[in-house]
Structure 1
């Protein structure tokens, strides 16, 4: 079983520093390994305590994954020692949640200009069809995102965007569509060109990168939408998995229908219980036995607060991974299930409706 590690095992110099080959959560100059685990409410387990990541965060007085935004970390932000620097120099507070991801269709390349504070060459992002790299995704609170904005010089050196190029796949198989990312916002942060070609960070060390010159590319080739103002954790994803009274045609569908663009039938790993109160209860886990619908919401920010109120204190909204890798919101049952009858894998939607009368 993986053990906690300290910053000393991952020095920040030279830029971009080294990074763990696994997901981690970081606080007080120490990182704890994080693994995918479908039996946990968050879908992730912190080692070696074998505790749900959301519970680990709650134990530190911090918000869960559902209140955090995914931000691509392709340079030094995946380095644990850099996280400590953010705390000491820019006031970063709370645990940093850093999850590894397979990134397809783009690459981290060296930028045209140098960093003013230490003369090192930073990374920037560029489109590269067919290419695959490993990077990280911060799940940042709004306050942590403001610190990253200051670190990256949002609006001056880099822009905060939603990245539509390529594909970002977490270690649990979840696909983050339109991940937040910092991309070039000035000529000095555009990719540097050497003999007309961009230079991948994975191919050239910082020492060699210092000799590359400062000829900027005209474009990074990325398909992005710049983020104006402060994004919200409720912005993403646009999908919601429903399995009870909120399904099309069920008793509470009238609450959902004005907010839904499209719907399709699907299923979700987990176990479904009959509460005996006219609606079912979902608990996370293995298997493919919970049928339902995935709904695309017109505006998650408008719909989700209304649904939070409707679901009440016995349910908690979390992000889950559908069988095809898409990530969706759903509501899991957080109260006791003792005495409830378990609905077996393979039940279809109509049978659940008939039994639970949602």
Structure 2
């Protein structure tokens, strides 16, 4: 597959332009990615699992990345290259298109220092439907974004509980996705005639001339993130289907980490009988896997459960049949000769 060039998606005027598909970007350009529930990463570059493509470049897999809702210029390929050349960002960045409901990118009360353009901020906006992006980035890449956004000065990194953020090119809805939200008066929404002005309605050339006053609030329900975000915190749920299920032999390993009651759930895939008292799950087409999705506390250390599952399993993010994003453990050892476990209703 031939990469696309930054020149096809200029960053000026702010907030720039971006491809009409999800993509992965590195120093050589950008590649379109497509969703595939059978891939461990959930995505493919051409026919390759995105995790394999990333591994070839010495980069972290999707499970070691943090989702960050990006509603300004950061999803623009040219802006990502600027982050590399000017702020030292390294490694591939994964950009997933996302549809936001009851949220909007609105013009901020102040201006950018670097070029006197007016930046955008995220705000609650009932009835709005806008397409933005979720960047899947490593903690080191988050540190670069912190510098770019002026975290702690102009913006704060926080989990956003308002509105809905759903993938466009795949099935799945984010729960309390992190985003950079305004932290100072100059990064509050600009009110013109008492109302915020959506970036989608007024271009940058006109936005710089807007006259108004800062809003008292962006209307968002958020929870500030302290320090570096941990990829293990996103998503805040674990799908279990064997010995870790409530009432099963090793539920005690998970019980103290549950942030709420488990509920029944299903995932596309198949279960096989290992013959050792625990099942092997593979993703993709199949009769479906019945299990339990358990909400887990932020900051939960999953290493003990990782150790229990062992090298035969890999913890990955998946999308359940109802659209919930969750962690689960997928069998990565050979399963030839194992009998298929009949599906449960």
Under a length normalisation based on structure 1, what TM-score does the superposition of the two structures give? Answer: 0.92
**How do 1:334-345 residues align onto structure 2 when only pairs under 5 Å count?**
334-344=332-342
For residues 14 and 240 of structure 1, what CA distance do their matches in structure 2 show? 42
- Residue 330 (structure 2) pairs with residue 332 (structure 1): yes
Q: Structure 1: which 4+ aligned runs deviate by more than 3 Å?
A: none
Q: Which residue number corresponds to residue 308 of structure 2? A: 310
Asked if structure 1 preserves the Cα contact closer than 8 Å seen for 2:158 and 2:224, the reply is yes
CA–CA distance in 1 between the matches of 2:85 and 2:234?
30
Describe how 1:179-328 pairs up with structure 2 within 5 A: 179-213=177-211, 215-260=213-258, 261-299=260-298, 301-302=300-301, 304-328=302-326
Q: How far apart, CA to CA, are the structure 1 residues paired with 2:298 and 2:147?
A: 28
- CA offset at residue 277 of structure 1? 2.0
Q: Give distance in 2, aligned partners of 1:267 and 1:11.
A: 42
CA shift digits 1:253-304 (9 cap, x unpaired): 23222323421222210011111222111111034521111112245523x1
Confirm or deny that 1:347 pairs with 2:337.
Answer: no
Aligned counterpart in structure 2 of residue 175 of structure 1, from 173, 182, 187:
173
Partner in structure 2 of residue 81 of structure 1: 78
Q: Deviations over 1:179-212 (max 9, x none)?
A: 1111111111111122222111111111111111
Equivalent-residue separation in structure 2 for 1:187 and 1:251 (angstroms) = 54
Q: Secondary structure at the match of 1:55?
A: helix
Instruction: Show CA shifts across 1:213-243 (max 9, x none).
Output: 3521221111111222222111122211111
Partner of residue 351, structure 1: none
Q: Structure 1 residues 159 and 30 mapped into 2: Cα distance closer, same or farther (>3 Å)?
A: same
Over 3 Å counting, the alpha-carbon distance change for 1:29 and 1:204 in structure 2 is farther
* C-alpha contact 1:236 1:300 (8 A) present in aligned 2: no
How many residues get paired?
Answer: 343
Shift of 1:118: 0.9
Corresponding residue for 1:134?
A: 131
What TM-score do the two structures reach when normalised by structure 2? 0.96
Q: Aligned partners of 1:228, 1:257: CA distance in 2, in Å?
A: 26
Q: Cα distance, 1:343 vs. partner?
A: 2.3
Relative distance call for 1:29 and 1:8 in structure 2 (3 A) is farther
Q: Is the 8 A contact 1:238 1:300 kept in 2?
A: no
Shift of 1:7: 0.2
1:20 aligned onto 2:16? no
1:68 aligns with 2:73: no
8 Å Cα contact 2:37-2:318 kept in structure 1: no
Q: Among residues 121, 125, 143, which one is paired with 1:124 in the alignment?
A: 121
Judge conservation of contact 2:257–2:300 (CA < 8 Å) in 1: no
Quick one: distance in 2 between partners of 1:179 and 1:263?
Answer: 21
Q: Which has the higher helix share?
A: 1
CA distance in 2, matches of 1:212, 1:272: 59
